Structure 1
Amino acid sequence: MHLSSEQVTDGTLGPRGSLAVGVALFSMFFGAGNLIIAPLLGVQAGPCVVPATLGYLVSGVGLPIATIVAIARAGTADALLDRIGHGFSRVFTILAYLAIGPLLAIPRTASTSFEMVRPLILGAQAGAGSAAAGAAAGAAVALPQLLFSLAFFAAALALALHPARIVRLMGKVTGPLLIGLLVVMVAAQVVAPAGDPLAEAQQAYATAPAVAGFVQGYQTLDLLASLAFGVVITSSVRRLGVTDPGAQARQVARSGVVAGALMALVYCALSYLGARMGTVAPEAANGAEVISLSSTLHFGTAGTALTAAVFLVACFNVCVGLVSSIGEYFSKAFPKVPYRGWAILIACISCVLANAGLTSILAYSVPVLMALYPMGICAMLMGLLPGSEAHAGAWRVAMACVGVVSTAGALRDALVPGLSLPFDALPLADIGLGWVVPGILGLIIGYIIEAARHGREGRGDSRG
């Protein structure tokens, strides 16, 4: 399937074009983090897997796709965030792109891929043993990891340097390949389940499964990734021949629905896979263990290769999407360095961090993400609600309230973990949503302030 500008009719790409762009968008979103959360949810939720999965879909699928639509309606992420203020827009977007880009998410695509491929490359060399043996094993792993990272980022950069080809390749090749691999993995569990769901739900799933699932989806951080992917998808739609801004927004929304439907189907399948592994891996620490064990039980040694292929394709897709979209943003924000230069710089920094210092950076990058994510949700709601652009003052108050609460919590977690804060007494704070009530109150107060100001201006005009 080849997409070209000749296929544009009535300002749209048509069903086939919308499907291809939707699959490409799905591929950009669906990385290692998306793979490993739903299976672990399935294991831990046990008999409560359905409400837990529904909660997960709301935040893991609904929020990112809604953000894509909100950005498409506004034109760009900057245009949406500029309603709060140009300075806020620039700082927020740069921090978000750095956090989900070269400082965290992009290096993790290579390091996670290597961890899944390592057994195929090194075999028993990755084993444990004495401290001396562990040090020797670490040294033995360092060179293969470096070579793997160099090859991984060289391939990703080669594709990212030709952004017009990204949607076509992901929509036609790597996206369908990922979906096909996942179908094989889940189908084996459907045909011959390895185990049964746990008799009782674990952790927070035992008391509030839907809320616990929502929080897990919240931790995928795909809403912030939407800020980046919305740029490259909109640009790709424009390059494919949809030039009218309104038509671009509608086309991105249609493709977003395709991507959301695919994500929802895959998440449900992976959640089911995890649930049927409950009695087999009740103590699993993460979803990667669940997926790997399931594949090994069904396919033996070939299962290890299947798992590695799924993770490699997923991580590669996300890496290419992030390098391209973040490089495109910085080339427009700081035009003295062209897109090619930014893409190369992002790939090089990511390659270095994938091999050294990533653990310490994770400790600071994750709190930054958790500070930004609630503000991203606030911006998404602002972009979706009709007429919100006419009430920028009210949304500034709401954003300020959300930002103060989320930033205070993030700074506490980064610098003084365990410190008690007054914000901890807020409703929903115990499940990581303490910013919700302040945000709502801030919006109400902002509207009241706007109404009072307009009332004073109206009285002044009548006296004049």
Structure 2
Amino acid sequence: MTKRLKLVDILALGFMTFAFFLGAGNIIFPPQAGMLAGDHYTAAMIGFLITAVGLPLIGIIAVAVAGGGWKGLTRDLPTGVATLMAVLIFIIIGPAFAAPRAGLVAYEIGFKPFLSAPGQLELGAFSVVFFAVAMFFSLSQGKLIDTIGKFLTPLLFAALAILAIAVIINPQGDVVAAQGSYVENALTTGFLEGYNTMDTFAALMFGMLIVDVIRKKGIEDNKATCMYLIYAGIIAAAGLAFVYVSLFYLGSTASVVAQGTQNGGEIMAAYVDALFGPVGQMILAAIIGLACLTTVIGLVSACADYFSSLTSWTYRRWVVVVATVCAVVANVGLKQLIAISIPVLFALYPVAIALIGLTFIRRWLPNPALGYRLVLGVALLFSLLDAAKVMGADMSAFSFLPLFDVGMAWLLPTLVAMGVAKFVGSRANALAEA
């Protein structure tokens, strides 16, 4: 008899999946995008939801379909290439961008609003203390942080739900006109903005953890595992979508109370202060500060665990190194860190998307090894053009490429490569047999 999960177990699994993705980037980017999108925020929000909700959840399902986690996803690639991809992803979601960004969000929302004249000294001091605490919990590998997490995510969601209701009932301004690229290309700009959450990378690396939770509940059948994973995905998607929609609307009505702000963290802080005053600001600061801390602990631990498996260094040594690098990187400031990360995400996100797509069409590829090399190579080549353009290089010679003007030159060539892979592989097999 096939074991089934109870409804309460399915809901718990969905809430855990939601908690996996609700981090710093999920909170700071929607307000910023909503503010810039203005009266085009609906189209921008749809684009954002595709990359910030849809792709990560599809990525988790891809991990389950592939079987074996990262090794299953990349089994048709050379071992060295697969390892390099994993290292780059862990660096991105760890010490280079995601972990320092979480610390900076904690600073922007949880500490900076209470300072009279915040500067580099205050940011430096906060970074040292914040990442020292994260390092301590990562080294101890105790259960305290798990206990905090069980109460923290519901509290964070409840706080965001209260904020969403307050924004709808009492918006702090009118929706103004769209700005920048949101004027003409709101949908694609929102799509690209969703890269910043980095959740597709996280899904590829941590999706198997969710599968393990299902397995530990006694579910061994692959079809049942995928089914429950989809259920959990729908629940998590609903929660994330609710958060994003409300924060997009918050940003679109924040032009009055958030004048002069430079990032989503400052927009959130200004809006909460306008709605609830200092008390509300303190409560939100505490909850988001703890949420960012648990996120950093998870990222530092995951990076240290993976890097220790590749080198002779111990887990504890890697924790110290990763946490120290995070503290140093965090001192560049939130706005600067986001600016630095954008070209990297433009270069590598399409490759992750292509890898997810290949997982679902692999069964139809007569030569998966050749197909994976072709498709991922094309995705990387054209995504590098988009990344170079974002960095400010003169790429006008490639303006003839479809969707190049909106930063998605990789899309059509990658789709074409997927189609070609089937026929090229078939021919290669026929020649080999002859």
TM range, smaller chain: 0.7 to 0.9
Aligned partner (choices 165, 178, 181) of residue 201 of structure 1: 178
Contact 1:405 1:435 in 2 (8 A): yes
The structure with the largest alpha-carbon Rg is 1
Q: 1:130 — aligned with what?
A: none
Q: Deviations over 1:379-435 (max 9, x none)?
A: 011123362565412232111111122235446766xx3233644432111221111
Distance 1:102 1:306, change over 3 A: same
Q: 2:161 — aligned with what?
A: 183
SS in 2 for 1:107: helix
Contact 2:14 2:236 in 1 (8 A): yes
Aligned partner (choices 81, 87, 91) of residue 98 of structure 1: 91
Residue 197 (structure 1) shift: 1.0
Aligned partner (choices 127, 130, 136) of residue 148 of structure 1: 130
Is there any run of 5+ residues in structure 2 with no aligned partner, and where? none
Answering whether residue 394 of structure 2 is matched by residue 419 of structure 1, we say: yes
CA distance in 1, matches of 2:294, 2:130: 16
Q: Deviations over 1:223-273 (max 9, x none)?
A: 112122213333444445445555444433332222222111110111122
Q: 1:297 — aligned with what?
A: 274
Q: Deviations over 1:312-369 (max 9, x none)?
A: 13322422332344344445x4385565665555334434544589999877655333
Distance 1:175 1:41, change over 3 A: same
Q: 2:33 — aligned with what?
A: 41
Distance 1:429 1:221, change over 3 A: farther
Distance 1:152 1:115, change over 3 A: farther
Q: Could you state the TM-score of these two structures normalised by the residue count of structure 1?
A: 0.81
Distance 1:119 1:330, change over 3 A: closer
Contact 2:113 2:269 in 1 (8 A): no
CA distance in 2, matches of 1:250, 1:165: 30
**Equivalences for residues 115-130 of structure 1 within 5 A:** 115-119=108-112, 123-126=115-118
Task: Tell me the amino acid that sits aligned with residue 98 of structure 1.
Answer: I
CA distance in 2, matches of 1:27, 1:391: 38
CA distance in 2, matches of 1:345, 1:299: 40
SS in 1 for 2:174: coil
Contact 2:45 2:245 in 1 (8 A): yes
Q: How many residues align?
A: 432
Contact 1:195 1:277 in 2 (8 A): yes
CA distance in 2, matches of 1:231, 1:145: 31
Contact 1:28 1:321 in 2 (8 A): no
SS in 2 for 1:299: helix
Answering whether residue 233 of structure 2 is matched by residue 256 of structure 1, we say: yes
Q: Could you state the TM-score of these two structures normalised by the residue count of structure 2?
A: 0.87
- State, as a whole percentage, how many aligned pairs show the same letter: 29
Contact 1:28 1:317 in 2 (8 A): no
CA distance in 2, matches of 1:206, 1:237: 44
Aligned partner (choices 53, 66, 73) of residue 80 of structure 1: 73
Residue 195 (structure 1) shift: 1.6
CA distance in 1, matches of 2:129, 2:144: 28
Residue 57 (structure 1) shift: 0.8
CA distance in 2, matches of 1:386, 1:340: 39
**Equivalences for residues 266-345 of structure 1 within 5 A:** 266-281=243-258, 284-330=261-307, 333-334=309-310, 342-343=318-319, 345=321
Distance 1:287 1:107, change over 3 A: closer
Distance 1:116 1:250, change over 3 A: same
Contact 2:4 2:219 in 1 (8 A): yes
Aligned partner (choices 414, 426, 434) of residue 439 of structure 1: 414
Task: Tell me the amino acid that sits aligned with residue 89 of structure 2.
Answer: A
Aligned partner (choices 377, 381, 384) of residue 404 of structure 1: 381
Task: Tell me the amino acid that sits aligned with residue 253 of structure 2.
Answer: R
Q: 1:451 — aligned with what?
A: 426
Is there any run of 5+ residues in structure 1 with no aligned partner, and where? 1-8, 127-136
Contact 1:156 1:320 in 2 (8 A): yes
SS in 2 for 1:427: coil
Distance 1:383 1:321, change over 3 A: farther
Q: Deviations over 1:128-179 (max 9, x none)?
A: xxxxxxxxx5445543542233224434554xx258984x764x31211110
Contact 2:23 2:102 in 1 (8 A): yes
Task: Tell me the amino acid that sits aligned with residue 412 of structure 2.
Answer: V
Residue 305 (structure 1) shift: 1.4
Contact 2:367 2:426 in 1 (8 A): no
Q: Deviations over 1:192-246 (max 9, x none)?
A: 2212211x32222222322222121133222112122213333444445445555
Answering whether residue 319 of structure 2 is matched by residue 378 of structure 1, we say: no
Task: Tell me the amino acid that sits aligned with residue 97 of structure 1.
Answer: F
Contact 2:257 2:271 in 1 (8 A): no
